[in-house]
Structure 1
Amino acid sequence: MIRSAGRPPRSGRRSGRARVRRTAVAVTALAALVAATTPPPGALGIGDELFPHLGNPGYDVLAYDIALAYTGDNRAPLEAVTRISARATAPLRRLNLDFTRGTVRSVGVNGRPARFRTVGEDLVITPAVAVPEGAPARITVRHTSDPVGEGGGWLRTKDGLAMANQADAAHRVFPCNDHPSDKAMFTFRVTTPRGITAVTNGLPAGPPHTRGPRTTWTYRTHHPMATELAQVSIGRSAVPRRTGPGGLPLRDVVPAADRKALEAWLAKTPEQMAWLERRLGPYPFETYGLLVADARTGFELETQTLSLFERGLFTDPRYPEWYVDSIMIHELAHQWFGNSVSPARWSDLWLNEGHATWYEALYADEAGARRLVDRMREAYRKSDGWRAEGGPPAAPARPEEGRRHGIFRPGVYDGGALVLYALRQRVGPEAFEDLQRLWVLRHRDGVARTADFVDLACAVAGADLRDFLRPWLLGERTPPMPGHPDWRSDPPPVADGGRSPTLRRKYG
C-alpha cells in the first residue's frame, strides 16, 4: 500500500483512528459505487418465450433439500426450510428465486444472514458478501408453504396434499429456480402426524423416523429433476409394492380404503413398462408408481417417478378400459419424454406431449381399440384449426394472463404426434424407431430443444430433413401428409374451437 506524504502521526492510537476513518470513507465510496452499478431489486426471468419472468439468471442449481412440516390440516400453512446448493455462473451481488404464496422468515447465503424482499413472484436476495463467478452459493430460506390458493402448486386431497406444479407453480410451494432448463437433485424431508404417510419422488433414504407423535420421511432422487416435476404426497395412504422389468422397484400411493379396488389397475404397470422398454430402451429412473389422489383435478400429471392420477379416472365407468390404459401409457412415456429429456424452453413442449401422445395412440392401436391411422387422419383434419387457434406445434402462442395451462392445447398433443407420424411416413418405421431410442439415450438426464431433435433426425435418416420438418413444426398451415395425398385439413367448428372430443381429458 502506498502511504500519503505528510508528518507521521504522534501516536499509534491516532494512527489507528486515521486508518479507521480512511477505511470508512473507502467502504462508503465502494458501497456508493455498487449501489450505482447494481440495478434496483426487481423480478427477473431467463426470457422464456411463453413464461418470460420464469427462472433466474446468474446461477445453476445443483441440489434442493426441502423440509416440510405438516400439521394434519390441509388448509394450514406448512413450516418449511428450503436449502439450495448452487454455483454462480456470474458474479452475484444479488440473486433472485421464484417464490410466492408463503411467508419468508429468514434467508442465509453461504452461512451468513442475507437481506431479502419480495418483488412480484420473486424473492430478491442480497448476500452479505457477493458470490464470485464459479463459486458455490448455499442458500437457506426459512418460510411457510401455503396450500390455499389458485394457480397450482399444492393440491388438496380428501385426506391430505399432493403437488401439481406444471407448468410454473413449483414456486408456489418452495423457493426455486422454476424453469425446466435448470434441473437438480432433490432431497425431501416431510414430517407428519402419526398415521399420516408421506411419499415423494425418488427412493427412501432410510426408514421413517418417529419421535413422539411425529414421523419424518426422507427421500432422495437418483437423477436430476425439473422443479415442475416435484411431487410430495401426504395422506392416509397405502403404498403397495411390486417389481418391474429387470427387478425395478415399483411403488404406488393410493387412498388406504381404495387399495383392493385399485389393485387391478396398479398391476398393469410392469407390462406397460415392458412394452415401452421394447421401443425406447431401459426405463430411465430408480423407481416408478402411480399416485392416485382423491380429488377432482380434470388432469393427470407425469411427476417424476410418481405420476399423479385422479381417483375418478379409475372409478368412473364412463371411461373404457382401453382409454384408461392409454392414459397410463401416456404418463409413463413422459418419464422418458419430458422428465429424463426435459424441454430447454416451454415452446419445446411438443417434444414432451407429442411423444407421449404418440405412444398412447400406438398402444391403443396395438390393443385393437382405435387405429393409429384413424386418429392421425382426424388430427390432420383439425390441424389447421389448432394452428390458427394456438400456433404451430413448436411455436405455441403465449398463454393468456392467469391461464398458464393455456399452452397445453391439442396442437402440442395430437398435433405433435401428427408431426411424428409425418416423420415416420417420410423416413420409414425402422429409421424412426432408431431415432426415438437414440433421442432418449443421447439426452438422458438433460434438456433439449426442437433444433436438437431436427439435427438428430437428419443424422439418423442420412438426409437433410430441415425443409421437410420446418413447415410441420412452425408453419401456419399443415403440409401435405406423405403417403396420404387425399387427407385434408378443415377449419375448426366455431362451437368447439377445434378442441379434442369430449372423451379426451386435459392431462400432462
Structure 2
Amino acid sequence: MSHRKPALLALGAVGVAAALLAAPSLATAAPADPGAPRYGAGADGAGDPYFPLAGNGGIDVLHYDLDLDYTPAPPEPAPIEGNLSAVATIDLLAMQDLDQFNLDLRGLTASEVTVGGKPMAFTQSANELIITPRPKLKAGAEAQVVVTYGGTTIRPRDIEDALYGWVTTRDGAMVVSEPDGSATWFPVNDHPTDKSTYTFEITVPEGLVAVANGLPAGEPVTEGGTTTWFWDAPDPMAAYLATASVGDYVVDEYTAANGTPIFDAVDPTRLGAPSAGLALTSDMLVFFEDLYGPYPFNSYGAIVDDDSVGYALETQTRSFFSRNAREGTVAHELAHQWMGDHVSPERWADIWLNEGWATYSTWMWTEHRGGDSAQTSFDDYYAIPADDPEWDLIVADPGPFGLFQNPVYDRGASTLHALRVKIGDHAFFEVAQTWVERFGGGTASTADFIALSEEVSGQDLETFFDVWLYTPEKPVSW
C-alpha cells in the first residue's frame, strides 16, 4: 500500500466493545454422551490483537462467488449513496465441530442465509453475521453457504478519516479494503490467514465498467439498461486484496514481455501523463521476476480512478491508483504482488514485510533506471537525526495506529538494505526468492523471515534484527 492514513476497525473503540459483548459465547455444554463430539461456536475473530473482530475461527473459506448488482450515487446535489443488492455463495471447510460460526459483515443487511441449500437461522451484530447451521457441521466437512444481502452504500471511513472498503462514487465505486474493509461489501472471513479463490458477476448501469481480480470470464452482457461483467480469480487471495471497482473506465488490454496478460482500466480524465507510469509495467515485471522469481498470478493490470487523492493499494493482480499512477508507486504496488499478496502477513504487526519490501523494490527499480542507487536511498534515510520521532516506532510491532506510518515503509526498506550489505548480495537474493517459493500462496511472519535469513546466510542475526526492527531508536551498530 502507498500513501494513506492508518486504518482501524470502523466500529471504533465503543463499537468494538459493543460487538464483543454481543458476540456469541464460546462456552459449550457437555454432551449427554461423553463420547459424542463437543460442538461449539467458532471464534468471532481470527486472533489478531490489532483487529480482534477481523476474521473468524472454526472455518476455512475455500471460494467466494460474488454476484453483485450495484447502482452508483445519483448526480449532485443528491447524497453520495449507492445501492448494493448481492448474493455471496461461499464454499467453506469446518475446522472444528461447529454449532455456530461467524462471517464479517458491516453496514449491509443479510435477508436470507442457506447452508447446503436449506434456510438457516442467523443474527447480525454491528460487525458479525452469526449463522447457526442445522445439522451442525462436523470438523472436516465442507459446506456451501449462500447469503443474500444488501443495502445503501456510502463512503466508509476509518477512525483516522481515511476512505476504505466499498467507497461509493458518483460514477461507480472504488474498492480498497486494507486492512479490514472487505466486510463493508461482502460476508467474509476477513483476515489474511484465510486465503480463497474468487469469481465475480457484477451488474452495473450500461456504460460503466466493473473491474475485479484475475481475468475476464467471458464477454460482458448488456440487456435492459445494465451490463454484467464476469471475472475469475483462481489464485488464493487474502480478502483485503479483493476488488470490484466500478467506473467510467477506458480499458487497455495487452500482453507484457514476460507473457503476463495485462488489463488496465483508467478513468478518462487520467489518461496521458497522469498514468504514464503504467507504460513501464512490462519492463517492471521482467525486472522483478529476475529478483524474486516468476510472477505468481495469472494476470496483472491497474485501476486508475479520479476519486481520492494520494491512495494506492496492491489489490491482487489489479493494483488500484487514485488520480496518478506515478512510476515509483507503480513499481511499489507491482512488487507487492510477490511481497504482500503472494506472501501475506501472518498478523498485521508483520506489515513491514509488505511495505518494507515494496519500498526497497522501488529503490532498486530507481537504481535500475539510472536514478539514485539503493545505497543512496538508504543513506538519505539514515541521515535523519537520532532525536527525530521517525526512529520512535517499533517497526515489527507498530500497533494498529502505526500500520501505515512512514517508518514501516522506509525503515523497513532500510532494514532490508542493511541486511543485504551484511550478508551479501548472493545470500540476500537467495533469501528473497526462497521467501516467495516457501511461503507463496500463504502467510508468513517476522519470525519466519528472521529464521530464513539465518538459515540462508549461516549467520546469527538476532542482534541485527533486534536493532533494526524492535528497538525504538536510531540504529548505531549492527
State the Cα distance separating 1:281 from its structure 2 match: 1.7
**Unmatched tracts of structure 1, length 5 or more:** 1-28, 315-323, 400-405, 483-508
Q: Deviations over 1:92-123 (max 9, x none)?
A: 10001111110111111122111111223111
Question: 2-side partners of 1:123 and 1:364: how far apart?
Answer: 46
RMSD: 2.4
Question: 1-side partners of 2:454 and 2:42: how far apart?
Answer: 43
Deviation larger for 260-269 or 406-415: 260-269
Q: Is this contact kept in 2: 1:43–1:120, CA < 8 A?
A: no
Letter in 2 for 1:164: V
Q: Does 1:61 align with 2:77?
A: no
Q: Does 1:329 align with 2:336?
A: no
Which SS does the other structure have where 2:134 is aligned? coil
Q: Given the superposition, is the C-alpha separation of residues 238 and 360 from structure 1 closer, same or farther in structure 2, using an over 3 Å criterion?
A: same
Q: Is this contact kept in 2: 1:343–1:352, CA < 8 A?
A: yes
Q: Does 1:139 align with 2:145?
A: yes
2:295 matched residue in structure 1: 283
Within 5 Å, which residues of 2 pair with 1:85-234? 85-148=91-154, 149-151=156-158, 152-234=164-246
Q: Is this contact kept in 2: 1:77–1:146, CA < 8 A?
A: yes
Q: 2:371 aligns with which of 363, 369, 372?
A: 369
Question: 1-side partners of 2:348 and 2:356: how far apart?
Answer: 13
Question: 1-side partners of 2:422 and 2:477: how far apart?
Answer: 9
Q: Is this contact kept in 2: 1:146–1:173, CA < 8 A?
A: no
Letter in 1 for 2:397: A
Question: 1-side partners of 2:386 and 2:353: how far apart?
Answer: 17
TM-score between the two structures when normalised by the length of structure 1: 0.80
Q: Is this contact kept in 1: 2:114–2:120, CA < 8 A?
A: yes
1:461 matched residue in structure 2: 457
Q: Given the superposition, is the C-alpha separation of residues 89 and 474 from structure 1 closer, same or farther in structure 2, using an over 3 Å criterion?
A: same
State the Cα distance separating 1:470 from its structure 2 match: 2.9
Which SS does the other structure have where 1:179 is aligned? coil
1:430 matched residue in structure 2: 426
2:305 matched residue in structure 1: 293
Letter in 2 for 1:376: F
State the Cα distance separating 1:450 from its structure 2 match: 1.2
1:474 matched residue in structure 2: 470
Higher share in helix:
1
State the Cα distance separating 1:298 from its structure 2 match: 2.4
1:318 matched residue in structure 2: none
Which SS does the other structure have where 1:247 is aligned? coil
- Considering only CA atoms, is the larger Rg found in Structure 1 or Structure 2? 1
Deviation larger for 179-188 or 203-212: 203-212
State the Cα distance separating 1:338 from its structure 2 match: 0.4
Q: Is this contact kept in 2: 1:157–1:294, CA < 8 A?
A: no
Q: Is this contact kept in 1: 2:39–2:98, CA < 8 A?
A: no
Q: 1:265 aligns with which of 277, 284, 287?
A: 277
Q: Given the superposition, is the C-alpha separation of residues 259 and 428 from structure 1 closer, same or farther in structure 2, using an over 3 Å criterion?
A: same
Question: 1-side partners of 2:335 and 2:149: how far apart?
Answer: 35
1:443 matched residue in structure 2: 439
State the Cα distance separating 1:413 from its structure 2 match: 0.6
State the Cα distance separating 1:62 from its structure 2 match: 0.5
Question: 2-side partners of 1:218 and 1:382: how far apart?
Answer: 52
State the Cα distance separating 1:262 from its structure 2 match: 5.3
Q: Is this contact kept in 2: 1:201–1:220, CA < 8 A?
A: yes
Letter in 1 for 2:207: G
Q: Is this contact kept in 1: 2:258–2:286, CA < 8 A?
A: no
Letter in 2 for 1:138: Q
Q: Given the superposition, is the C-alpha separation of residues 472 and 261 from structure 1 closer, same or farther in structure 2, using an over 3 Å criterion?
A: closer
Question: 2-side partners of 1:137 and 1:386: how far apart?
Answer: 50
TM-score between the two structures when normalised by the length of structure 2: 0.85
Question: 2-side partners of 1:132 and 1:107: how far apart?
Answer: 19
Q: Is this contact kept in 2: 1:393–1:474, CA < 8 A?
A: yes
Letter in 2 for 1:150: R
Deviation larger for 82-91 or 252-261: 252-261
Q: Does 1:309 align with 2:318?
A: no
Compare relative contact order (CA 8 Å, sep 6+) and give the higher one, 1 or 2: 2
Question: 1-side partners of 2:51 and 2:370: how far apart?
Answer: 40
Letter in 1 for 2:223: R
Q: Deviations over 1:119-139 (max 9, x none)?
A: 231111111221111101211
Q: Given the superposition, is the C-alpha separation of residues 385 and 455 from structure 1 closer, same or farther in structure 2, using an over 3 Å criterion?
A: same
Which SS does the other structure have where 2:328 is aligned? helix
State the Cα distance separating 1:459 from its structure 2 match: 1.6
Q: 1:245 aligns with which of 257, 260, 268?
A: 257
Deviation larger for 455-464 or 131-140: 455-464
Deviation larger for 470-479 or 434-443: 470-479
Which SS does the other structure have where 1:143 is aligned? strand
Q: Is this contact kept in 2: 1:93–1:130, CA < 8 A?
A: yes
State the Cα distance separating 1:228 from its structure 2 match: 0.4
1:347 matched residue in structure 2: 349
Q: Given the superposition, is the C-alpha separation of residues 384 and 226 from structure 1 closer, same or farther in structure 2, using an over 3 Å criterion?
A: farther
Question: 1-side partners of 2:206 and 2:151: how far apart?
Answer: 21
Question: 2-side partners of 1:147 and 1:379: how far apart?
Answer: 41
